[in-house]
């Protein structure tokens, strides 16, 4: 570990000391937090010498002093906030400002019996201690150092619990917004999901910032999917182009459960996602769809890791990237089929479209197979727009820009089509059209 | 309508067209025949504006304008249409979307209002009837998974929608069964008007039985080496191109 590393880790320890008295406390929570802080202090910031961070430098984050948000006094602009609504989506809505739940902006409404949808702070304050033994149970903090940092500061976020055999019809929309002012903030919400046996739920984790907000969001999501449960999880990252985001999603899947992840990245200066489902029970299935649009000044790194730990499990991963300008992206998809995981069926694909010669993608599938009776397929492509198709469209009267957009849209379209929620698909289509270079579909 | 003078074109520094002259008047039908690799498709692509072909000499006048000065989409909107010898498959771009975008692009250019979804559907159904095409083609990706003959029909469908002034059909008859050939010919004939011209690039006399050309040209070695009336096509069918090459050699 270099001296530089411990220096930046030290900064976070100091910052922690300053806000520690404001954090919720209690026996088990204090222990958890203390251990996490010590762990982060020991491990420090990852560097590019770490295999998992080879293509992503954290220097731009390290050299800044982010001040831990406390949730006091910040208020987002109402008109802007309105644009963050997902049109046509009837959802249970929780809004977090700089990582802290804002009841006034949220609308939870009536919930089916036994269902819990509340702020993490409220759940931590609950005397029945619903989070004891749950918080931190799914996340692997040794593998994901920023998860330890998040735990060290844990104060607020969302707690979702759907009991056995209950289907939560309305999706839960968690909207995380930051506020912009002179001090860049450190925002660290935590999302904890427990889906009981044969329960169903849809969750939308949505990030947005007002223009120019350069907060550093470090989020951890833990999902415990019980036997036969189905969790559909949208990660909609619409950060401002100045924002930093590191997030990890940890999923424990019991037998016959299904976890479906849609990971959409539209914004951010530096973004890193780790998505890590572990299939612990037979018959479990994971679907991971991803789309990243990465332009000038942006760096988006998606690391996924699927652990097939037992027989008869499946995973299906489909990620696509569109890059332009000097955009940079990383895709690393690890599929680990453990020794006992016979009859695993795993497929993985990452396709990339480079719209400019300066754009760059590092894509790497990593299959580790320790069982012998399995089906595993993977593929990765990097290409440009098809000149023949461009000419064909132009020969039918479409101008060059429209032709490029239509083809780019077609490339990204099949990932969008894999997403079940129509209002989300529509928002996405509009966002894609708007974010592409040139902007606006003809 | 179209006036090509001494056109010289190279691809990756290889000369393909070597001084080609061709004049097509309004309302005329011209057929261009010639051996494989003689430059017929190159001519079509150059006229449509493909930029990997470099024009190194000559001129092309289209409706009084310098055609070579226009972008491919401008040419299309000005009424020049190329039916491709090998239509491109574009998965993910809906066939209906392209047909509608194409129609609205030309309408807008002519100062007409864009058609709405209902008007468009009626129009497209009528044209598809002419082309004996099932409506299921509308919901598929552009040429995606279409058979060879279906692609050719789709080209003519696009042509009927765009109503061009000058249509260049590059081997639209190749790979068609006998019934389909008739359908395609009907499609082309449906477009014919005294202010519209058609250039048929073909290897076979059969298409010309259905669409009778006013002029037949032989393109060989990057030049028009022989022109005549429709009887030239019959002659070529019988004797091939060898006699022409000899004629050219002795000239
Ligand atoms: N992009 C290209 N790069 C290199 N050579 C090319 C290219 N396009 C055309 N050519 C060459 O130019 C010549 C003329 O090709 P073209 O396609 O115009 O022939 P054609 O007369 O249409 O033949 P066919 O009857 O087989 O369709 C051929 O020798 C071909 O290989
Ligand atoms: Mg040809």
CB contact under 8 A, A407 and B93: yes
Chain A residues touching residue B76 (CB < 8 angstroms):
394-397
- pLDDT score of B135 more than 50: yes
Give dist(CA B175, CA B224) in Å, integer: 25
Whether residue A133 lies inside any domain: the answer is yes
A181 lies in the same domain as A50: yes
Residue A368 touches partner B, C-beta closer than 8 Å: no
Whether residue A60 lies inside any domain: the answer is yes
Whether residue A314 lies inside any domain: the answer is no
Our answer on whether the CB atom of B187 is closer than 6 Å to any ligand 1 atom is no
Our answer on whether the CB atom of B13 is closer than 6 Å to any ligand 1 atom is no
pLDDT at A213 (0 to 100): 87
The pLDDT tens digits for B33-65 are 999 999 999 999 999 999 999 999 999 999 999
Whether residue A50 lies inside any domain: the answer is yes
3 state SS of B39: coil
Count of Cβ atoms closer than 10 Å to residue B224 Cβ:
17
Using alpha carbons only, give the angle A361, A363, A366 rounded to the nearest 5 degrees. 165
Our answer on whether the CB atom of B145 is closer than 6 Å to any ligand 1 atom is no
Give dist(CA A430, CA A424) in Å, integer: 10
pLDDT at A149 (0 to 100): 96
Last residue of a domain, one of A246, A281, A316: A281
CB contact under 8 A, B88 and A389: yes
Closest alpha carbon to A415 in A217, A224, A240, A262: A262
Q: Are B109 and B75 in contact (CB under 8 A)?
A: no
Q: Are A363 and A350 in contact (CB under 8 A)?
A: yes
Residue A383 touches partner B, C-beta closer than 8 Å: no
Last residue of a domain, one of A263, A281, A299: A281
Our answer on whether the CB atom of B42 is closer than 6 Å to any ligand 1 atom is yes
Whether residue A123 lies inside any domain: the answer is yes
What single-letter DSSP state applies at residue A371?
Answer: -
Ligand 1 atom at minimum distance from B52 CA: 1
Whether residue A371 lies inside any domain: the answer is no
pLDDT at A6 (0 to 100): 55
Residues linked to residue A322 through DSSP beta bridges, in sequence order: A293, A353
A274 lies in the same domain as A399: no
The pLDDT tens digits for A180-234 are 878 899 999 999 999 999 999 999 999 999 988 899 999 999 999 999 999 999 9
pLDDT at B251 (0 to 100): 62
Say which ligand is closest to the CA of B50: 1
Chain A residues touching residue B142 (CB < 8 angstroms):
392
Q: What is the ipTM of this complex?
A: 0.96
Ligand 1 atom at minimum distance from B171 CA: 27
Residue A111 touches partner B, C-beta closer than 8 Å: no
Residue A28 touches partner B, C-beta closer than 8 Å: no
Say which ligand is closest to the CA of B33: 1
A143 lies in the same domain as A266: yes
Last residue of a domain, one of A281, A298, A317: A281
Task: Look up the domain containing A151 and give its range.
Answer: 3-281
Chain A residues touching residue B73 (CB < 8 angstroms):
394-395, 397-400, 403
Ligand 1 atom at minimum distance from B43 CA: 18
Whether residue A373 lies inside any domain: the answer is no
Spacing, Cα B42 to ligand 1 middle (Å): 6
Closest alpha carbon to B82 in B39, B25, B43, B121: B43
Our answer on whether the CB atom of B201 is closer than 6 Å to any ligand 1 atom is no
**Distance set, CA A157 to CA A36, A127, A144, A179, A219 (Å):** 18, 18, 19, 16, 9
Our answer on whether the CB atom of B45 is closer than 6 Å to any ligand 1 atom is no
A234 lies in the same domain as A98: yes
Count of Cβ atoms closer than 10 Å to residue A418 Cβ:
16
pLDDT at A442 (0 to 100): 27
A119 lies in the same domain as A250: yes
Residue A406 touches partner B, C-beta closer than 8 Å: yes
Q: Are B170 and B82 in contact (CB under 8 A)?
A: yes
Whether residue A150 lies inside any domain: the answer is yes
Q: Count H helices, E strands: chain A?
A: 9, 21
Best probe of the A interface among B42, B53, B90, by most A CBs < 10 A, is B90
The pLDDT tens digits for B81-108 are 999 999 999 999 999 999 999 999 999 9
A275 lies in the same domain as A392: no
Using alpha carbons only, give the angle B113, B118, B123 rounded to the nearest 5 degrees. 75
CB contact under 8 A, B90 and A442: no
Q: Are A156 and A189 in contact (CB under 8 A)?
A: yes
- pLDDT score of B124 more than 60: yes
Number of domains in chain A: 2
Q: Looking at the partner chain, which of A389, A396, A411 has a beta carbon nearest the beta carbon of B76? A: A396
Task: Give me the average pLDDT of each 10-residue run along chain A (442 residues).
Answer: 59 88 88 94 90 94 91 86 95 97 96 97 95 94 91 97 98 95 91 98 97 93 98 97 96 98 96 97 98 96 97 98 96 96 97 95 96 95 96 97 92 94 94 70 30
């Amino acid at each position: 570990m270099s001296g530089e590393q411990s220096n930046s880790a030290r900064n976070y320890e100091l910052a922690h000391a300053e806000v520690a008295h404001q954090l919720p406390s209690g026996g088990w929570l204090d222990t958890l937090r203390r251990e996490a802080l010590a762990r982060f202090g020991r491990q420090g910031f990852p560097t590019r010498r770490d295999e998992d961070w080879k293509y992503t430098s954290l220097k731009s984050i390290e050299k800044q002093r982010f001040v831990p948000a406390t949730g006091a006094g910040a208020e987002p602009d109402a008109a802007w906030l309105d644009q963050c609504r997902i049109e046509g989506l009837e959802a249970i809505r929780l809004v977090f400002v700089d990582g802290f739940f804002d009841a006034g902006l949220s609308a939870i409404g009536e919930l089916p019996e036994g269902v819990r949808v509340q702020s993490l702070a409220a759940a931590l304050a609950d005397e029945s201690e619903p989070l004891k033994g749950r918080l931190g149970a799914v996340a692997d903090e040794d593998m994901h150092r920023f998860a330890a940092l998040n735990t060290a500061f844990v104060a607020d976020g969302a707690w979702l619990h759907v009991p056995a055999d209950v289907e939560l019809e309305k999706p839960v929309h968690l909207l995380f917004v930051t506020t912009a002012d002179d001090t860049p903030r450190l925002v660290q919400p935590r999302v904890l999901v427990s889906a009981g046996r044969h329960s169903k739920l849809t969750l939308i984790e949505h990030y947005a910032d007002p223009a120019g907000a350069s907060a550093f969001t470090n989020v951890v999501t833990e999902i415990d999917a019980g036997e036969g449960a189905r969790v559909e999880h949208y990660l909609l990252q619409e950060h401002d182009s100045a924002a930093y985001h590191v997030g990890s999603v940890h999923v424990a899947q019991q037998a016959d459960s299904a976890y479906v992840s849609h990971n959409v990245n539209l914004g951010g200066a530096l973004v890193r996602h780790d998505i890590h489902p572990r299939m612990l029970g037979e018959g479990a299935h994971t679907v991971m769809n991803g789309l990243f649009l990465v332009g000038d000044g942006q760096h988006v790194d998606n690391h996924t890791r699927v652990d097939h730990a037992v027989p008869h499990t499946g995973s299906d991963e489909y990620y696509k990237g569109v890059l332009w300008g000097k955009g940079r992206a990383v895709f690393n998809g690890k599929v680990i089929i453990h020794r006992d995981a016979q009859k695993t069926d795993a497929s993985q694909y990452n396709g990339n479209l480079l719209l400019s010669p300066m754009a760059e993608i590092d894509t790497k599938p990593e299959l580790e197979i320790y069982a012998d009776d399995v089906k595993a397929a993977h593929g990765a492509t990097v290409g440009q727009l098809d000149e023949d198709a461009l000419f064909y469209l132009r020969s039918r009267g479409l101008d060059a820009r429209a032709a490029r957009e239509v083809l780019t849209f077609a490339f990204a379209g099949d990932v969008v089509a894999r997403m079940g929620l129509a209002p989300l698909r529509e928002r996405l289509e509009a966002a894609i059209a708007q974010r592409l270079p040139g902007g606006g579909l003809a | 309508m179209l006036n090509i003078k001494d056109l010289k074109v190279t691809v990756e520094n290889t000369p393909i067209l070597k001084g080609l002259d061709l004049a097509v008047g309004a309302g005329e039908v011209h057929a261009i025949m010639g051996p494989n690799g003689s430059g017929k498709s190159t001519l079509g692509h150059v006229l449509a504006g493909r930029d990997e072909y470099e024009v190194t000499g000559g001129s092309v006048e289209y409706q009084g304008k310098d055609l070579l000065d226009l972008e491919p989409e401008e040419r299309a909107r000005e009424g020049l249409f190329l039916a491709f010898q090998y239509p491109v498959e574009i998965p993910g771009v809906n066939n209906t979307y392209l047909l509608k975008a194409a129609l609205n692009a030309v309408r807008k250019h002519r100062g007409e209002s864009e058609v709405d979804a209902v008007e468009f559907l009626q129009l497209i159904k009528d044209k598809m009837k002419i082309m004996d095409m099932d409506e299921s083609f509308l919901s598929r990706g552009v040429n995606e998974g279409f058979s060879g003959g279906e692609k050719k029909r789709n080209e003519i469908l696009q042509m009927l929608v765009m109503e061009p002034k000058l249509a260049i059909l590059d081997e639209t008859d190749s790979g068609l069964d006998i019934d389909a050939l008739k359908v395609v010919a009907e499609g082309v004939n449906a477009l014919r008007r005294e202010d519209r011209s058609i250039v048929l690039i073909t290897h076979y006399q059969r298409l010309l039985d259905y669409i009778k050309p006013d002029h037949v040209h032989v393109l060989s070695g990057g030049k028009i080496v022989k022109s005549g009336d429709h009887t030239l096509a019959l002659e070529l069918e019988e004797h091939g191109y060898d006699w022409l090459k000899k004629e050219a050699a002795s000239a």
